[in-house]
Copies of this chain bind each other. A is one copy, B any other.
Amino acid sequence: MEEEILIKAQDKKNKNEVLLYLLKNRGKYVSGEELSEKLNVTRTAIWKHINGFKKLGYEIDSVPRLGYCLKNSPDILYPEEIWKDEELKFLGNKIYYYESIGSTNEKAKILAVNGEPHGTLILSEKQTMGKGRIGRKWESPKNEGIWLSMILRPNLSPEEAPKITLVAAVACAKATRKHGINCAIKWPNDILYEGKKLAGILTEISAEIDRINHVIVGVGINVNTKKFSVELESIATSLYLIKKEPVDRKKVLIDFLKEFEYFYSKLEKGEFQDVLKEWKALNCTIGRNVKIIGKTKEIEGIAFDIDELGALLIRKNDGSVERILSGDVSLR
């Protein structure tokens, strides 16, 4: 069932300064007067905002004379949680934040055609029809993972689009490694831990023959999933299952966004070699015997490298080399 509940769609420049101020002063009491003066908002407006945040699950103490104190944030990926990080340059300059959605990629495609700018994020606490590659399902239970799509408008030709998948894979691996997870990238788009899928990336493009209109990068990271369906439990894992403790989704999200911006800027500056180097350092496909099931044929051999455009290079048993743009890889 595709229920869609939008919580808000907003530009970073219209972010809620009251919540931001409380987030930055977490644990401290901030007087209504201070908020009102610094942010140029009336005391009544502040009071209304505070009530709104409480409804979202923010624990805010109000003590006469002392003021307001943010004690605890709920486990939600509310846009201000991203905007409080000042390092982000373009990701999240506009955010569509949903409580529930069919698929963030499907929504992103519509928004992109409607002209939403480079860097727009579509975030949802839950997907009812989350998508993997080739129309596969991606389980996206409520508040358990990071389910997001990014609208990008790179100056690349369509054949270069796979580079963006590599950027996303590196960013995803780096962000989860920051949380102590020794994961690896399986070509082209999976993040694995001990052979089980921890995260996935789905890149979709809209293009003329020689020009990209936009790229949608969908990312799913299993953060606090405690139990997968029978179908998936032998092949999927989550940060929670690996670490045996809940992980702060907000931190993982922001780490991912920062890493993505960093490596995307490499791509933009013509330093894609640096991305490839990181990708190779993090991957678990190169050097392995692989079997690739493509649309029309199967190929077996040793995956010995990837090329400039992100294609996998396979040396077959007869010594010949094949360049693989896509397909399902099984490591032997």
Spell out A's residues near B (CB within 8 Å).
106, 109-110, 113-114, 133-134, 157-159, 161-162, 165, 188, 202-211, 213, 295, 325-327
**Bound complex: CA of A113 vs CA of B327, how far in Å?**
24
Chain B's nearest CB lies how many Å from the CB of A157?
Answer: 7
When C-beta atoms are compared, the residue in chain B nearest to A210 turns out to be: B326
Asked if A188 meets B209 with Cβ closer than 8 Å, knowing A113-B109, A114-B110, A158-B158, the reply is yes
User: Are B210 and A325 interface neighbours, CB within 8 A?
Assistant: yes
Can you list 10 contacts pairing A with B, beta carbon distance less than 8 Å? A106-B113, A109-B206, A110-B114, A133-B208, A134-B208, A162-B209, A188-B209, A204-B206, A204-B208, A205-B206
Ordered nearest first, which 5 A-B pairs have the shortest CB separation?
A210-B326, A109-B113, A206-B206, A209-B326, A110-B113
Contact residues in B for A188 (Cβ distance below 8 Å): 209
Contact residues in B for A202 (Cβ distance below 8 Å): 208
Contact residues in B for A295 (Cβ distance below 8 Å): 157, 210
User: Are A207 and B209 interface neighbours, CB within 8 A?
Assistant: no
**Bound complex: CA of A224 vs CA of B125, how far in Å?**
54
Chain B's nearest CB lies how many Å from the CB of A26?
Answer: 40
Copies of this chain: 2
When C-beta atoms are compared, the residue in chain B nearest to A131 turns out to be: B208
**Bound complex: CA of A211 vs CA of B208, how far in Å?**
15
**Bound complex: CA of A158 vs CA of B208, how far in Å?**
11
Chain B's nearest CB lies how many Å from the CB of A18?
Answer: 36
Contact residues in B for A106 (Cβ distance below 8 Å): 113
User: Are A207 and B205 interface neighbours, CB within 8 A?
Assistant: yes
Chain B's nearest CB lies how many Å from the CB of A225?
Answer: 24
**Bound complex: CA of A91 vs CA of B66, how far in Å?**
70
**Bound complex: CA of A114 vs CA of B210, how far in Å?**
25
Contact residues in B for A165 (Cβ distance below 8 Å): 209
When C-beta atoms are compared, the residue in chain B nearest to A324 turns out to be: B210
User: Are A325 and B209 interface neighbours, CB within 8 A?
Assistant: yes
When C-beta atoms are compared, the residue in chain B nearest to A205 turns out to be: B207
**Bound complex: CA of A110 vs CA of B115, how far in Å?**
11
**Bound complex: CA of A263 vs CA of B320, how far in Å?**
36
When C-beta atoms are compared, the residue in chain B nearest to A188 turns out to be: B209
User: Are B209 and A213 interface neighbours, CB within 8 A?
Assistant: no
Chain B's nearest CB lies how many Å from the CB of A112?
Answer: 9
Contact residues in B for A162 (Cβ distance below 8 Å): 209
User: Are B209 and A134 interface neighbours, CB within 8 A?
Assistant: no
When C-beta atoms are compared, the residue in chain B nearest to A208 turns out to be: B204
Contact residues in B for A205 (Cβ distance below 8 Å): 158, 205-207
Chain B's nearest CB lies how many Å from the CB of A110?
Answer: 5
**Bound complex: CA of A158 vs CA of B215, how far in Å?**
14
Asked if A210 meets B157 with Cβ closer than 8 Å, knowing A113-B113, A114-B110, the reply is no
10 extra interchain contacts, Cβ-Cβ under 8 A, other than A109-B113, A110-B113?
A113-B113, A134-B208, A134-B211, A158-B158, A159-B159, A161-B209, A202-B208, A204-B207, A206-B206, A208-B326
